[in-house]
């Protein structure tokens, strides 16, 4: 790829904070990969680099492209937000509980739990559907839980906690709480990574920015 002067500057820049703004298909991820390669070429330890993506496919693609360009395996950490959150939760539980005791539920579990609670609270099918349709938005702060669904929301969360189950949408919230509660663990992660790169920054929500 022939890089523009702006892209070349982004790749070689020593700036502490750097934001790339460009249209779709203009090579943002390619520039990010080259930025990582530039650091590696200048003897940056690969384990101090963390790259975050929004999907498993994006993370796998990033790893594949980096491997092909470097022509060797490198220990750069490339994860999704949820994968990093899960790792933090596991580290916290191993430290404080001596074991890992949570299970991530799927969409089928979510619907089944919500349906059971709706029936117990004698709520209508319309309330159930509204709850299911917006649950992710409630949990990520995109949309406030309306008053008529607060009891359902609270009962739903209590059921998950009692069963030691977690939704994908809970991972980041719980990981953030653990880092707030355990300053040593928080310091460990802050010191572990010198470079943090985020692909598709425009899609981050408040939880992820925290």
Instruction: Identify whether 96 is part of a domain.
Output: no
Quote the CA–CA distance of 186 and 179 in Å, as a whole number: 5
Instruction: Identify whether 64 is part of a domain.
Output: yes
Quote the CA–CA distance of 28 and 25 in Å, as a whole number: 8
Instruction: Identify whether 92 is part of a domain.
Output: no
Asked whether the beta carbons of 189 and 179 are under 8 A apart, the reply is yes
H-state helical runs in 71-148: 81-97, 107-121, 125-139
Instruction: Identify whether 181 is part of a domain.
Output: no
Tens place of pLDDT per residue across the chain (210 aa)? 688 898 999 999 988 888 888 777 788 899 999 999 999 999 999 999 999 998 899 999 999 999 998 888 889 999 999 999 999 999 999 999 888 888 999 889 999 999 999 999 888 889 999 999 988 888 877 788 888 889 999 999 999 999 999 998 899 989 999 999 999 999 999 999 999 998 876 666 777 777
Q: Are residues 48 and 116 in the same domain?
A: no
Quote the CA–CA distance of 81 and 176 in Å, as a whole number: 12
Segment 63-88, tens digit of pLDDT: 999 999 888 888 999 999 999 999 99
Average predicted confidence (pLDDT) for the chain: 89
pLDDT of residue 9: 92
pTM, entire model? 0.86
Do the bridges between strand 165-166 and strand 103-104 make them parallel or antiparallel, or are there none, so unpaired? parallel
pLDDT of residue 201: 67
Instruction: Identify whether 172 is part of a domain.
Output: no
Tell me the CATH number at 79.
3.40.50.300
Q: Are residues 41 and 107 in the same domain?
A: no
- Which among 163, 153, 155, 148 is positioned nearest to 132, based on CA atoms? 153
Tell me the two tokens of residue 121.
Answer: 């609270």
Burial class (CB in 10 A: 0-12, 13-18, 19+), 53: buried
Q: Are residues 17 and 74 in the same domain?
A: yes
Full residue range of the structural domain in which residue 132 is found: 103-163
Instruction: Identify whether 19 is part of a domain.
Output: yes
How many distinct structural domains can be found in the chain? 2
Segment 27-61, tens digit of pLDDT: 889 999 999 999 999 999 999 999 999 889 999 99
């Amino acid at each position: 790829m022939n890089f523009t002067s702006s892209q070349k500057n982004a790749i070689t820049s020593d700036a502490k904070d750097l934001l790339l703004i460009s249209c779709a298909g203009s090579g943002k991820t390619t520039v990010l990969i080259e930025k990582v390669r530039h650091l590696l070429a200048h003897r940056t330890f690969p384990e101090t680099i963390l790259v975050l993506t929004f999907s498993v496919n994006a993370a796998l693609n990033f790893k594949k492209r980096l491997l092909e360009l470097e022509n060797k395996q490198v220990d750069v950490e490339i994860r999704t937000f949820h994968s990093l959150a899960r790792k933090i939760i596991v580290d916290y539980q191993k430290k404080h509980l001596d074991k890992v005791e949570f299970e991530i539920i799927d969409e089928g579990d979510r619907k089944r739990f919500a349906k059971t609670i709706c029936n117990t609270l004698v709520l209508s099918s319309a309330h159930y559907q509204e709850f299911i349709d917006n649950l992710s938005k409630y949990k990520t702060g995109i949309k406030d839980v309306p008053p008529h669904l607060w009891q359902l929301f609270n009962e739903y969360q209590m059921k998950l906690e009692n069963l030691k189950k977690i939704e994908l949408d809970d991972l980041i919230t719980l990981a953030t709480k653990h880092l707030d509660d355990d300053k040593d663990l928080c310091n460990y992660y802050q010191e572990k990574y010198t470079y943090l790169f985020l692909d598709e920054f425009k899609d981050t929500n408040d939880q992820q920015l925290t």
